[in-house]
Amino acid sequence: MEKLVVHGGNRLFGDIDISGAKNAAVAIIPAALMASEGTCHIDNIPSIEDVHCLERITKSLGCKIKTNVNSLDIDSSEITNLDACTEDVRRMRASYYFIGALLGRFKKARVELPGGCPIGVRPIDQHIKGFEALGATVKIEHGAVNIKADRLIGTNIFFDVVSVGATINVMLAATLAEGITTLENAAREPHVVDVANFLNFMGANVKGAGTDIIRITGVEKLYGCSYSVIPDQIEAGTFMIAAAATGGEITVKNVIPKHLESISAKLIEMGAEVIEQDDSVTVRSKGKLKGVNIKTNPYPGFPTDVQQPMSTLLCVAEGRSIVTESIWESRFKHVDELKKMGADVKVEGRTAIIEGREKLTGAVVKATDLRAGAAMVIAGLLAEGRTEIHSIEHIDRGYPNIEVKFQKLGAKIYRETIKE
Ligand code: EPU
């Protein structure tokens, strides 16, 4: 087991290359299984535990995979197993994309129910509603989704909630359905668009991704292709917040500034300077920042995945901030850890009321989930003294080499093995 040790108080300066988007890569890898001919070469794959987990699942289904530093070659011409029921499937959320991918190509699959961060109830009823509308029969038995269809036939599907996972999963299956499928009230996140683009590179016909209506004209077959994953909006947001939190200047490179607008706008409202270039964004901050109110929302609103790191920053901003989490009902578990460092936060249901303090002080804390882990790293960086962060396996699921990237910016942060 490992922990991160942070000696806080250093202002961070420099440039950092942002990796490929986790939430795009974790859908694109299962989607690659739908190519019945040729190899998918995928670049800009982040080196994170969730991706390694998917590589293992993909291999267990019979795909041949070649891994390079930040790329993957997936040959799925000979899938031998339609039963994805392993510990890896249970551990992570995105394993649910094997349902849509296998259903689309083989019209049947058995996939264990997914795990993922403990941030609230995570139903998959909208995924199932979409698959059933396409003509599939779904049974949940012994903790697994058993799905099959004689034929998949395109139809109109109106999602009851805006769901990234359901939009992508049903889009995967519909790509190889007969006729036209229209997804309404679809999620508009950049990673939804990235998956649609990848499918189109494979020979699919998906239009409208990035709006709330996606129209998919089914094709008979998909093929291998070369593709590069978009940059990670959430990793970029985390480093932008770190610049503001430490009173430094960081340029996040290899990003799409448009994807970061809601984060940039909040940092500007707090008093930080944000300068957008073509494919980079610089955040600079010198003085004390002001508290602001934040409400998380589906894209283009403020992303729930940046709420936790941002609420750490608000703990040392001047005045009161109110943070409302409208996506997940249990995404304030980091607050108890922040309190150990002197933060003044009261959580009432889905709202956190934060009274800004002069400073936080180092403590022994834990990462309760992935983005809570990022929030604790930011807290350690801005706090006075030494912070130890435990349970960092959550952080490794989604941030590639977090300590190495922060060291490059001047942070005193190290990974240590915990002696039993
Ligand atoms: N929902 C339903 N029924 C469904 C699906 C979702 O009620 O069938 C509800 C959820 O309970 C939630 C809301 O709809 O309240 C949105 O959930 P969504 O389906 O969009 O979330 P997800 O696909 O499970 C992805 C990301 C999350 C991110 C959310 C929201 C992946 C693997 N995960 O989850 O990322 O918070 O979208 O943007 O893409 C993270 O990276 O730390 C993370 C948790």
Residue 122 has what pLDDT?
A: 84
Residue 91 has what pLDDT?
A: 87
Residue 292 has what pLDDT?
A: 98
What residues have CB less than 8 Å from 40, skipping those under 6 apart? 32, 72, 73, 74, 75, 76, 202, 224, 225, 226, 227
Residue 117 has what pLDDT?
A: 74
Distance (angstroms) between ligand 1 centre and the Cα of 163 equals 6
Q: Point out the ligand 1 atom lying closest to the alpha carbon of residue 26.
A: 32
Kindly name the residue from 53, 63, 85, 117 that is annotated as catalytic.
Answer: 117
Asked whether residue 124 is marked as a ligand-binding residue, the answer is yes
Distance (angstroms) between ligand 1 centre and the Cα of 326 equals 11
Residue 403 token pair: 């300590």
Residue 385 has what pLDDT?
A: 97
Mean pLDDT to the nearest integer, 5-18: 97
Q: Say what the pTM is.
A: 0.97
The two domains 2-19+231-417 and 22-228 share their CATH topology (first three levels equal): yes
Ligand 1: does its nearest atom lie under 6 Å from the Cβ of 170?
Answer: no
Distance (angstroms) between ligand 1 centre and the Cα of 324 equals 16
Are 17 and 254 contacting, i.e. CB atoms less than 8 angstroms apart?
yes
Side chain identity at residue 126, one-letter code: Q
CATH code for the domain defined by 2-19+231-417: 3.65.10.10
Residue 208 has what pLDDT?
A: 98
Ligand 1: does its nearest atom lie under 6 Å from the Cβ of 329?
Answer: no
CATH code for the domain defined by 22-228: 3.65.10.10
Asked whether residue 22 is marked as a ligand-binding residue, the answer is yes
Ligand 1: does its nearest atom lie under 6 Å from the Cβ of 179?
Answer: no
Distance (angstroms) between ligand 1 centre and the Cα of 165 equals 6
Active site residue 117: yes
Is the pLDDT at 120 greater than 80? The verdict is no
Quote the DSSP letter at residue 211.
B
Q: pLDDT tens, 342-379?
A: 999 999 999 999 999 999 999 999 999 999 999 999 99
Residue 43 has what pLDDT?
A: 98
Break the chain into its structural domains and give their ranges. Answer: 2-19+231-417, 22-228
Residue 251 has what pLDDT?
A: 98
